[in-house]
Amino acid sequence: MKNKHLVILILAVLTVVGCKSKAVEFKSAELKKNPYSTSAALLGHPAQGVLHLRGVSDEMPNRQAAIKDAHKKAIQHMFYMGFPDADILDMKNPMIRKGMGIETEHKAFFDNFWNTGYQQYIIENDENFYACNSSSSECVVAVSNFKINYNILRRDLERNKVLNRIGF
């Protein structure tokens, strides 16, 4: 009886070990960096229709470009990724579920939006600038904590047919 249990145990161990999949190694060139991983966060929901976001820019040549990049990263995170750990139900999922391809589909709207159009939705902006890791003196990284009028932004996206109206 003991031998029977021992044989079954050995067969089970061999089966598990034999079926264990090998780890797949990826070359760094095969993997793309997630542009939203540490570049944005939802800090809060201070009022109805207002979101408090944080954006962190890449290394940019000047302060203006760094702030624009920080804002873009936070807004793109809200659009395409959502904030899964948010306590606000609407923000757990992405605002635009079609993904970044929507920017190609509505190119004229997004060209204007990313140039200066997004700034009309920003209510308050707190900027901090940092030196880059590179040796260039013309390099800056920005961290921007800003409040955005989510309701008006959503309304304008619906009017421009980027988003469907809720319930339609």
In a domain, 67, yes or no: yes
47 within a domain of the structure (yes/no) = yes
When pLDDT is cut at 50, 70 and 90, the band that residue 21 belongs to is very low
What are the pLDDT digits (tens) for 52-109?
999 999 889 999 999 999 999 999 999 999 888 877 767 888 889 888 899 999 999 9
Please indicate, yes or no, if residue 148 is contained in any of the structural domains. Answer: yes
Q: Helices (DSSP H) in 81-149: which residue ranges?
A: 102-105, 107-115
Containing structural domain, residue 151: 34-159
Model-wide pTM > 0.95: no
Identify whether 81 is part of a domain.
yes
29 within some domain: no
Coil/strand/helix, residue 77? helix
Q: Is residue 84 part of a domain?
A: yes
| Per-residue pLDDT tens over the stretch 142-165 | 999 999 999 999 999 999 999 877
> Is 20 part of a structural domain of the chain?
no
HSE-CB at 65 with a 13 A cutoff on CA atoms is 8
Which of the four pLDDT bands, split at 50, 70 and 90, describes residue 13?
A: low
User: Is residue 43 included in any domain, yes or no?
Assistant: yes
Q: What's the domain count of the chain?
A: 1
Question: 153 Cβ partners below 8 Å, 6+ apart?
Answer: 121
